[in-house]
Structure 1
């Protein structure tokens, strides 16, 4: 090895360690930057082959500057994150429904005694039948007739207020689909732009770690919205959903939402260019799509009774709306049948107790009220099958409706209270399952992210240790160069 060759080796050592110090400084500068990945310099031996059996070392060179990133962990994380986002929507909606139906106690305390009042659906049903029980023993008392009308209005108010909240929750699901698709399209556009920028920055061996970090952060966000798959070719990404390109290099394939979310006009997400429905199998968009589905809700009439209620609808919101609809509509049809067969206090033909707000549409939880005629004149409330004194047969029959097994849940005959209990049991079980599934999935996603961070996260301790190592190596190479300088100076002086 010549003196000048040794000089070149020392210089290569200084150059590579200077590059390593630069990446270390970059890492330290980004230690608190969200999504920043650790950057590392990979060095390689530099040598010259002198014969078929020997080679001569020429120092070291910078082989590459790369991010510390595990592609497999990224892919697994995004798949599991999509499932987690889906379960988050489903669990959150189930939890909200549960709060709407929760029975609660209001305790009022005075100096003399303590009064406990229970409100909620079951309490409203009980109060309604209790009012009829009282009326059946004193059918001529004006106050008891008014109490029945009031209790009927309170029952409707309780049920319809819950249904209105459920309708709003379903409308929010429709909004969630629209907002989610808009976000997915926007993120896809940003990924396409970064594909172009990265390709330009890495021409000729350039390095664009910061752009790649931005792109990966966008992909993570996209995975929370829908089931995406990512492939990379020469630095350019292709993002697909069930094999259809959402992003391909600099191009994007836009998604559109069609439908209003009603039963007649269901919500769908389609590819704008082909009109084909997009296969979204996970992510928050999938969760909102399912809960926006109203096909589990339908009106019923007398010919449908007993209506066999099931919990097989895609949307838990629609399931609960239909449960409440079946509860009140069945009660209204049966009570009206009894009321219309009797006479009022004045001997006139009986009127329906519950009527449709819009007479052109069937009775339902969204189209029902206590007959306005009864509200105006409680004497028109029917308790008797005839005008014979003491005949309270209709009131007695209405009281018996609370134990009449006119409801069905998956083929099992139930009375009104047991039917409501079955619905709340389903809600509690399904809600607990959804919450447990989400908790398990969220834990898995957190573990995967921790594994990713173990690979790519920037550690101050590690970077400070590297800085000392690279500085020492740089100084050592510099001292070698200095020694060679002194040797060359001495040689020149000797000539």
Structure 2
């Protein structure tokens, strides 16, 4: 009778644990990163080889339905999406900077005002209109430069924040590793830590591409920027990640672990998108600076070759300021040098040189080309992002199908384990009733 009682009791304990695990699955069905768990039941062998009778059942551990391959696919796909979407942010900022001031239109207005003045070089109204157009060009150049510089400053802020976040996630993963080294294998506590580990790895992959290896306890070692990249986490040691921009404007990420610094060169995640954005912003800034310099020098050169209404040599119409902005220098309409030297106030010979400058330097065409090139890159990124988003969604769906909670299946398990629990309780009751019957025999 003692065997029957112990068998029934073991069934009650085992199926109670199974019910608890199933209930935990149901409760966490919508919890992000939760992996379905199963109570692993094993038979307890009997002491009699001849009879072959068992001694009940025991819970040998809590198993996670994790799929490391599908989880790695989710991380890789998420890293690709984050890189592309982050790069799109800065391409969009460049598009706004290049198009927001209508620079090509303002330059067109300026040159058109010069053409209008050529029809009546001594008239005050077209001269005033040309100065107004010159002020518009200066403001457009300056506004474009400031918009790009603002985007660069915002990028630096975002880069520093993401680098710091990567360091924080690395530190959190190192603590998880430390906990995994102490927790009992196959316990619910281990399952919880492994869920947390996988969530942190997925977050890290959104910042940089990660290469992970796991030891027998489930502790993760993580490298960023490829299999030979910077070691971010190893055991309970974690790297801090920093961001820097050198004097030439190039950006870099550095990981520091145990006093050793390593260059982190991300090829995925938001950090890679930021690095791409920094390069494109630098190119846009350099292109606008070159365009502004050539425009200012070209117009001033033409202005310096002519004479104003007072018969004096022309003074500079524009000035390049520190920081790359442009300032309109003339306030008197009479100061525009429309005439060639010695030709009189009604001559427009010098304005023809301005028209020649417009034709040869192609300032407007180059500005439109800059906008078009950036727009094409942005459109291509959007197409890639849509495709990568679909790949990521498919990877998540495949992982969740293998590792997530299916409420229908859990409901079936709940009823099955409930019946087993009730049957085990009935075994105990039968054992007691049988024992009572034996005790009543005279």
Aligned residue for 2:307?
Answer: 343
Q: Does 1:267 align with 2:251?
A: yes
Aligned residue for 1:485?
Answer: 432
Tell me by how many angstroms 1:185 deviates: 1.0
More RCO (CA 8 Å, sep 6+): 2
Aligned residue for 1:450?
Answer: 397
Tell me by how many angstroms 1:283 deviates: 1.3
- In structure 2, C-alpha distance between the alignment counterparts of 1:421 and 1:239, rounded to whole Å: 45
Which of these residues, 156, 164, 178, is aligned with residue 196 of structure 1?
178
SS, match of residue 335 in structure 1: helix
- 1:82-121 aligned at under 5 Å gives the runs 82-102=79-99, 120-121=102-103
Tell me by how many angstroms 1:444 deviates: 1.5
Q: Does 1:440 align with 2:387?
A: yes
Q: Does 1:249 align with 2:235?
A: yes
Aligned residue for 1:131?
Answer: 113
Q: Does 1:178 align with 2:175?
A: no
- In structure 2, C-alpha distance between the alignment counterparts of 1:488 and 1:337, rounded to whole Å: 116
- In structure 1, C-alpha distance between the alignment counterparts of 2:358 and 2:395, rounded to whole Å: 53
Which of these residues, 327, 333, 339, is aligned with residue 378 of structure 1?
333
Count the aligned residue pairs: 435
- In structure 1, C-alpha distance between the alignment counterparts of 2:254 and 2:51, rounded to whole Å: 65
Q: Does 1:140 align with 2:122?
A: yes
Aligned residue for 1:116?
Answer: none
SS, match of residue 42 in structure 1: strand
Tell me by how many angstroms 1:102 deviates: 4.2
Which of these residues, 257, 264, 268, is aligned with residue 282 of structure 1?
268
Aligned residue for 1:44?
Answer: 42
- 1:3-402 aligned at under 5 Å gives the runs 4-48=2-46, 55-102=52-99, 120-202=102-184, 207-233=189-215, 234-241=217-224, 242=226, 243=228, 244-259=230-245, 261-263=246-248, 266-272=250-256, 273-292=259-278, 315-357=279-321, 366-371=324-329, 374-375=330-331, 377-389=332-344, 390-402=346-358
Preserved contact between residue 176 and residue 285 of structure 1 (Cα < 8 Å): no
Tell me by how many angstroms 1:262 deviates: 4.0
- In structure 2, C-alpha distance between the alignment counterparts of 1:133 and 1:85, rounded to whole Å: 50
- In structure 2, C-alpha distance between the alignment counterparts of 1:210 and 1:275, rounded to whole Å: 33
- In structure 2, C-alpha distance between the alignment counterparts of 1:94 and 1:472, rounded to whole Å: 61
> Which segments of 5 or more consecutive residues in structure 1 lack a partner in the other structure?
104-118, 293-314, 359-364, 407-414
- In structure 1, C-alpha distance between the alignment counterparts of 2:197 and 2:102, rounded to whole Å: 50
Tell me by how many angstroms 1:55 deviates: 4.6
Q: Does 1:416 align with 2:363?
A: yes
SS, match of residue 63 in structure 1: strand
User: What does the per-residue CA deviation read over 1:294-322, in whole Å, with 9 as the maximum and x for residues that have no partner?
Assistant: xxxxxxxxxxxxxxxxxxxxx22223223
Mean CA deviation greater in 250-259 or 169-178: 250-259
Tell me by how many angstroms 1:279 deviates: 2.8
Preserved contact between residue 95 and residue 374 of structure 2 (Cα < 8 Å): yes
- In structure 1, C-alpha distance between the alignment counterparts of 2:359 and 2:339, rounded to whole Å: 20
Tell me by how many angstroms 1:224 deviates: 0.8
> Which segments of 5 or more consecutive residues in structure 2 lack a partner in the other structure?
none
TM-score (norm 1): 0.81
Tell me by how many angstroms 1:21 deviates: 0.7
Residues 57 and 71 of structure 1: is their aligned pair in 2 closer, same or farther, counting only changes over 3 Å? Answer: same
- In structure 2, C-alpha distance between the alignment counterparts of 1:23 and 1:388, rounded to whole Å: 98
- In structure 1, C-alpha distance between the alignment counterparts of 2:213 and 2:61, rounded to whole Å: 22
- In structure 1, C-alpha distance between the alignment counterparts of 2:187 and 2:171, rounded to whole Å: 25
Mean CA deviation greater in 273-282 or 246-255: 273-282
SS, match of residue 140 in structure 1: coil
Preserved contact between residue 65 and residue 207 of structure 1 (Cα < 8 Å): no
Aligned Cα root-mean-square deviation (Å): 2.5
- In structure 1, C-alpha distance between the alignment counterparts of 2:31 and 2:368, rounded to whole Å: 52
Structure with more of its chain in helix, by fraction: 2
SS, match of residue 275 in structure 1: strand
Preserved contact between residue 39 and residue 63 of structure 2 (Cα < 8 Å): yes
- In structure 2, C-alpha distance between the alignment counterparts of 1:385 and 1:43, rounded to whole Å: 101
Residues 403 and 204 of structure 1: is their aligned pair in 2 closer, same or farther, counting only changes over 3 Å? Answer: closer
- In structure 2, C-alpha distance between the alignment counterparts of 1:471 and 1:190, rounded to whole Å: 39
